[in-house]
Amino acid sequence: MSATKRVALVTGGMGGLGEAICIKLAMLGHTVVSTYSPGNAKAQEWQAGMRVQGYDIKAYPCDVTDWNSCVACVAKVAAEVGPVDVLVNNAGITRDMTFKKMDRVNWDAVIHTNLDSCFNMTKQVADGMVDRNWGRIINISSVNGQKGAFGQTNYSAAKAGMHGFTKALSLEVARKGVTVNTISPGYIGTQMVMAIPKEVLDSKIIPQIPMGRLGKPEEVAGLVAYLSSEEAAFVTGANIAINGGQHMQ
């Protein structure tokens, strides 16, 4: 893959999947910036831990659900680090419950964090990418945005919406050297997934995966690395599944 050094911004970079993405992009020589929720008291500890491992990953507070916070964050990144070349919209939450039990608060929380954040962050960097005739926007969706999931009307709607966003935006910027793609992971061994009771994982989820295991964060990170490279310049508007064969289109 290309060794050209870029500035890469990963939202939600301190979670299991986000951290793996940050590390992979840093290993490729990029200048990596992670956002974190303003209330995250462990952000500095995380950044120090990355430095111990040899990764100088910048960390900036940003509420990705809030337009003004995103404006301020990306402006600060541009001033202190440089304009963003690679944006990975990775921040996400779940608030699972049946639609019968779901209230507006839990619907809004997931839509704002998982879908509105794509607009809030991409809007800050897309024009600059177009002006520079190079950019990579990578949206982390989910297998459940492709096939749906019981108790996840909010999450599935947001994740499906991310790919609609990808397809439309990719058409607008394709001639300017900017690609926009979606990655739809299946069940990956992150903290979010490992919080599922083991008996549910073993009896309900893993049997649905032909490979018979959870995915690894590093495997998704490797796909992000490819899509952010020079070699992926002809890939745009795509939704790439990485789910161990759980769902095929």
Amino acid letter, 101: K
Q: Looking at 36, 55, 60, 155, which residue is catalytic?
A: 155
Specify whether the CB–CB gap between 230 and 2 falls below 8 A.
yes
Q: Classify 20 as helix, strand or coil.
A: helix
Is the four-CA dihedral 105, 106, 111, 113 of positive or negative sign? positive
Specify whether the CB–CB gap between 188 and 214 falls below 8 A.
yes
187 is catalytic: no
Length of the chain: 249
CA distance 67 to 72: 9
Query: Pick from 141, 27, 164, 45: which is nearest to 88 by CA?
Result: 141
Number of Cβ atoms within 10 Å of the Cβ of 144: 23
Give me the residue label for tokens 């959870």: 214
- So which residues are the catalytic ones? 155
